[in-house]
Amino acid sequence: MMAPVPSIDRELSAARIARDIDTLSGRDYTTSAEAIRRYAYTPEYRRTLDYVGAQLRSLGFDVSEDPVGTLIARNRPAGEPVFGVGSHCDSNRNGGRYDGTMGVVTALEVCRLDAEHRLGLPLQLISFLEEEGSGFGQMLLGSRIMLQRVSEQELRESFRSVDDGRSFWEHAEAAGYEPARWRESIHALDDLTGWIEMHIEQARVLQDTENRIGIVDAIAGYVHADVLVRGRGDHAGATPMDLRLDPTLVLAETALELERLATEAGQGTVGTIGEIDIDPGLINAIASSVRFSLDIRGPVNDAYRGVADAIGAFAVGAARRRGMTAEFRIRQTLAVTPLDGAIVAALEEAARATGEPFRRMHSGAAHDTMCVADRVPSAMVFVPCKEGISHHPDEEADPADAALAAEIIVRAIATLGDG
């Protein structure tokens, strides 16, 4: 039986969360002075895990890492049931202080509150490797590895470092990990009775509806893909317009068609071209090739998948019509993820008890919970972020909202633990 949850000093929690965020926003924890930029196997990321690990060890947690570097900390011996909390503390390459990191330090605060008030909650904190994909272009990589949603060939060969082109496998080994044991990482979930991830919303729904908490009951699915268009690199000044094979025109047509298709599909479907590589990328040379990414998502599988298929065919056709070739290649895809009704209900009950404004919602952003939910009853808690700005250094969120989320999560876990 869990101890009853006493009243919680949210100001103290907010101050600790703010201190953790401020610390992890320092130059020791980001490779960039302009944004928060930290990802797998960099010294800055290593120091981030060491900071979180030290905080957890001071609470008596046993801290370890899985064979590729996902951090796992628990306050019960292996084999005993525990409730999972956590998120990720790697960042987007143009990241803010709060995406992922606020979820990990709020999970840390849940662990502190449990210890401080001797609540007896059996807890396991997980901080997933490479949620953003900043190191190898593969979003949710650590949790997809854990859930065996990748192949060994991809880890050994296809997944390559954005910085130096070496394989994920090589980088993991060079960092002292054992990627050959990657299949064992799934055992981190063996004892989990449930999972709650706290995260900033990364849009404006909570702000615009004046809610402090979002209880997430589903997460949008997505398709990540790449299009490589091959044209002919010619002189920008000497080549007449009717003799050109300019791949940037296929990119332009595809961008407008993506907007049209996603808008027409409706049902919350969105499409984005975020990465563009132009070769050679010179002012006075017609590009010989263009590679661009596609990020297509939505809360309805058929809708966003339909857009992904249609835009892939469109790009290949647009190239052909102009005498060029284009390849459309899926990078990865995850389906819409419904979350667990019992945990959602416990979170709503705990939120209601605080008297603070909250609402149910779905997540447009992807999260590691999409993987954990495959094997463990899971849900998420959102807090607002200012103007919905995220994946940008101007990202802002309020530690007081995170403190409220921590209290709600503690109460929900205590309720769920009482069966």
Which residue in 72, 108, 139, 343 binds ligand HGY (CB under 6 A)? Answer: 139
* Chain CA centroid to CA 375, Å: 18
Span between the terminal Cα atoms of the chain, in Å: 9
Helix (H) or strand (E) holding 370: helix 369-372
Rounded to 5 degrees, φ, ψ at 402 are -65, -35
Residue 222 C-beta: closest distance to ligand HGY, Å: 7
Name the H helices within 34-129.
Answer: 43-57, 101-116
> By three-state DSSP, how is residue 269 classified?
coil
Burial class (CB in 10 A: 0-12, 13-18, 19+), 170: middle
Residue 99 C-beta: closest distance to Mn ion, Å: 4
User: Which 340-399 positions form the footprint of ligand HGY (CB under 6 A)?
Assistant: 365-366
Residue 348's binding partner among ligand HGY, Mn ion, none (Cβ under 5 to 8 angstroms by kind) is none
How is residue 182 written in tokens? 């990657």
Which residue in 132, 154, 191, 257 binds ligand HGY (CB under 6 A)? Answer: 132
Phi/psi region, residue 192 (left: phi>0; alpha: psi -120 to 50; beta: rest), is: beta
Give the nearer residue to Mn ion in terms of CB position, either 99 or 401.
99
Residue with structure tokens 């709650």? 196
Give the nearer residue to Mn ion in terms of CB position, either 39 or 314.
39
**280: cis peptide before it, omega within 30°?**
yes
Residue 194's binding partner among Mn ion, ligand HGY, none (Cβ under 5 to 8 angstroms by kind) is none
How is residue 410 written in tokens? 């503690």
Give the nearer residue to ligand HGY in terms of CB position, either 20 or 132.
132
Give the nearer residue to ligand HGY in terms of CB position, either 121 or 365.
365
Span of 109-117, 131-139, 337-345, 374-382 interacting with ligand HGY by CB under 6 A: 131-139
The pairing of beta strand 123-128 with beta strand 82-88: parallel
Residue 365 C-beta: closest distance to ligand HGY, Å: 4
Residue 86's binding partner among ligand HGY, Mn ion, none (Cβ under 5 to 8 angstroms by kind) is none
Give the nearer residue to ligand HGY in terms of CB position, either 132 or 246.
132
Give the nearer residue to Mn ion in terms of CB position, either 99 or 154.
99
Residue 233 C-beta: closest distance to Mn ion, Å: 35
Residue 91 C-beta: closest distance to Mn ion, Å: 8
Residue 366's binding partner among ligand HGY, Mn ion, none (Cβ under 5 to 8 angstroms by kind) is ligand HGY
Give the nearer residue to ligand HGY in terms of CB position, either 113 or 139.
139
Residue 91 C-beta: closest distance to ligand HGY, Å: 10
Q: Does 131 bind ligand HGY (CB under 6 A)?
A: yes
Residue 139's binding partner among Mn ion, ligand HGY, none (Cβ under 5 to 8 angstroms by kind) is ligand HGY
CA 71/CA 188 separation, integer angstroms: 10
- The type of residue at 398 is D
Give the nearer residue to Mn ion in terms of CB position, either 223 or 229.
223
Sequence-distant (6+) residues with CB within 8 A of 220 are: 268, 297, 298, 299, 304, 336, 362, 363, 364, 365, 366
CA 262/CA 307 separation, integer angstroms: 6
Give the nearer residue to ligand HGY in terms of CB position, either 61 or 136.
136
Farthest CA pair distance, the chain: 81
User: Which 203-262 positions form the footprint of ligand HGY (CB under 6 A)?
Assistant: none
Residue 295 C-beta: closest distance to ligand HGY, Å: 7
CA angle 251, 254, 257 (to 5 degrees): 155
How many residues bind ligand HGY (CB under 6 A)? The answer is 5
The pairing of beta strand 62-65 with beta strand 213-219: unpaired
Interface residues toward Mn ion, by CB under 5 A: 99-100
Name the site residues for ligand HGY (rule: CB under 6 A): 131-132, 139, 365-366
